[in-house]
Structure 1
């Protein structure tokens, strides 16, 4: 008999989810205010709150919070679906595995198009308040009407162009201004713009994973809603996407944080004005220590998940035990 009831498990899960969401709420308020500051005044070089409502509900917060909340749910959905698919491919699944797989797939299929809409709204908000970030994301060097959407390429800041660009004519203007002839500002108008390459690449990693999520989740949902079992190729696709949500979220935060450079409070306070006076050795050592620590924690977490996903289901273990007892009678 289980030591903890299902109701207690559900209560614990709900408390953790609510607490985590509240934590994200306040963290993203602060980050969003640093991206789109308002409701403050600066006196003698210091920031003072004037309107807390304006600070909390700053222009980018609603878009960033909802985008991140749905991203977290998508990450969870693909983690559940991917681990369940791995168990089914290894033939170590039990009766509950199919239910978990179905839940993850259908949740992902419902949330992915919603995330596309939220991402579009977030992008329009960013265009309004941080046009330099959008120019870096899209690799737009000169202000132009009917700007193309660059799918792939290698940004070259020295030459002010994107090499080997694969483009869709006028598509960037259409997406961002809802007009094929819309004008988008180029990086030439922003002498202090973010580094283009990491922002450009990170955005395409995030979007590429999102496209894969949409395609795979809808394909798998179509099978399940018709009462059909998923074929091995679909299970493998889900297994490959197990950790895709984390990669997409990390890439998205690269876009957010690198894209606001050189500002720590956008348009108000530069990073260079608040950087700590440490030697290069101290900075490199600290960065290396953090990287090694988190890499170790990540490796341990992934190894634990792989170990648990490879274990036979409890029901199968029980049946094996019952069979052994029956054979000894």
Structure 2
């Protein structure tokens, strides 16, 4: 669909964790050094040996790379949304330009017909010839017609001038929107490269781990989320919360939870895959409430709600840069699309750093 819109414009002027996790999974792997998957290249003579990173350090590095990719995905999605808007506006303006040109052609034809009629009458319009008659009654009968004809000619010329000015404005607006469209495409390309670079770097780090270490890495990720969730629940935040919601909120939750198991793909809006804000936007669209495309725009534009007042269907925004978002489904849990390599899943609502809560309804 996006390609089709762009083509039309050219032709016309972007936590697999359950709410409870067993504390028996706690490992001491965070202090364990990495076992290299392949022999390291020899160091230059005299160069100091590089200390090996612990698995916890690697986990944090990978998590940081995916966080950066998520922020870049938001930038990509916003540029994509703007490009859609600009493309649609160009198509709309192109149609207005065509209609305006057709109107000008009609007005010019009418003006030309009046001019030819005047030429055939010796340079005088029909009404003027009647005014020159010697018959007083005929003069009185046709004086009004002369006035009406003069006004019609004046109105015709004024309409022609207005239409020409509108046509010029449409053309200028189309040119401006084209410039903006190209700028947004440049931003898309830049964000796309940054996303792929960060994901590739994270995957490279993971690929250097042995299978056992990758399993321990997943356990470390789950332990971190479990600790955060436990602390969040322990703060008493769930006291007084109700799982009751509106019919729209219920439909949004039903849609989002029905997507569990589908893969995260940056920039995806369904139906086969989603990124975090693509999931929340699609869920609320299914509930009949359009919301912005990116997590940052959802945070910026939707009404904010205190955590102690949230209800199922509300959206929880994560991290200081609002780079991640999930839908609260009740009982201290969210459904979200975590990151590349993960599927849409249920997680603890407090398993990540909460920025705030917004309510689409």
Same topology, TM > 0.5 = no
Q: Which has the larger radius of gyration?
A: 2
The structure that is helix-richer by fraction is 1
Q: Which has the higher contact order (CA 8 A, sep 6+)?
A: 2
